[in-house]
Amino acid sequence: MTTDIVIETTRGNAVESRHRVRGVVCDASGTPVLAFGDIDQPVFPRSAIKVFQAIPLIETGAADALGLDTGDLSLACASHSGEPGHVARAASVLAKAGLSEHHLECGCHWPFDQPVALALARAGGEPGQLHNNCSGKHAGFLCTAIHEREDPAGYVGADHAVQRRVREVLADLTETRPGEDQPAGIDGCAIPTYAAPLRGFARGFARLTAGHGVDGARAAAGQRLMAACMAEPWFMAGTRRACVALMEAAPGRVFAKTGAEGVFCGAVPELGLGFALKVDDGATRASEAAVAAVLARVFRTQDGALAERYAALSHTTLRNWQGTKVGEVRAVDA
């Protein structure tokens, strides 16, 4: 079934902007149950596939050997907001491996959460690498390296064993040859990033959640990570974040993860489905509306009440500085 979705931004009674979306919901074989736009053109997934990147943390035995708990595993898949609880948890994960912030190679940026960033600045502070939204993922990388008795220095490099393991997982789940038959680049947090078709990412999530077309231990690792994120979504994102709202709308029933430049990926475990979408102009406001609209369609014939909750999340009110409603961001059928 192919039905286009467009995200509109309105002002008054007029449409001010439109965002084009392409994406797919499919089963473990890659057969779409919902598709719109070009789903076979390669895209960079950015942070939307952090579950894939965290799978070696489970597969190597590092997570269990170091006693990582549910919150730790959620943080390993996170694009967190840099709130104090995120920073403390990332430091705790590193400490379990006998490491510190000094060992991170993700770089620094101000916390995503604006009140937290303002409080840090007002106190005369500066952001550290623990504030980086990817610090949990990088802490997981380092845990794996330490468990495997590898030199952690340079773990962000494409030739380091940490990244080779990630690349193998990505190749397996997307049925591509990362960096060979698809474009490659460097992500914002310094690790390699590999493009693949949206269908490949959606199929990978479907395979993990359904346990079909992938090694059983790998599927179990992916399921454990997604379960951790659904159980502790705040560690995966933060306060006032769309990923949290999407998962809390259907506790334990939907996994959803944002990525930069308008990407979203995830899974619907009870239906054995995976999904992936990309807003062509990279707008996050549009991807957040689009994924809610997609989930509303998925559940329309399964759970009408849940479909309505997601439909509501696909519309966001826009207000001016006086608090007056001036328009909305909304998903519409093209």
pLDDT at 2 over 80: no
pTM of the shown model: 0.95
pLDDT bin (cut points 50, 70, 90) of residue 179 is: confident
Distance CA 291, CA 276 (A): 9
Structural domain span for residue 189: 5-333
Beta strand extents in 84-235 (DSSP E only): 184-186, 192-194, 196-197
The domain that contains 24 carries what CATH number?
Answer: 3.40.710
How much is the average pLDDT of 226-242?
98
Element (H, E) at 205: helix 198-210
Instruction: Tell me what pLDDT residue 229 has.
Output: 99
pLDDT bin (cut points 50, 70, 90) of residue 314 is: very high
pLDDT of 270-306, one tens digit each? 999 999 999 999 999 999 999 999 999 999 999 999 9
pLDDT at 3 over 80: no
Beta-strand relationship, 14-26 and 273-279: antiparallel
pLDDT bin (cut points 50, 70, 90) of residue 115 is: very high
Distance CA 315, CA 328 (A): 7
How much is the average pLDDT of 256-281?
98
pLDDT of 55-75, one tens digit each? 999 999 999 999 999 999 999
As a whole-number percent, the residues of the chain with pLDDT over 70 amount to 99
Closest CA to 49 of 131, 214, 172, 212: 172
How much is the average pLDDT of 264-269?
98
If one counts the domains in the chain, the total is 1
Instruction: Tell me what pLDDT residue 334 has.
Output: 58
Count of alpha carbons within 13 Å of 33, Cβ hemisphere only? 21
Give the mean pLDDT of the chain: 97
How much is the average pLDDT of 229-237?
98
Instruction: Tell me what pLDDT residue 333 has.
Output: 79
* Per-residue DSSP letter, 225: H
pLDDT of 156-174, one tens digit each? 999 999 999 999 999 999 9
Closest CA to 309 of 266, 267, 247, 256: 247
Rounded-to-10 torsion of CA 280, 284, 288, 289: -60
pLDDT of 17-64, one tens digit each? 999 999 999 999 999 999 999 999 999 999 999 999 999 999 999 999
How much is the average pLDDT of 112-121?
97
Instruction: Tell me what pLDDT residue 197 has.
Output: 97
- Name the token pair of 131: 């504030």
**CB-CB contact of 38 with 4 (8 Å):** no
Instruction: Say which residue the tokens 């919902």 belong to.
Output: 34
pLDDT of 208-231, one tens digit each? 999 999 999 999 999 999 999 999
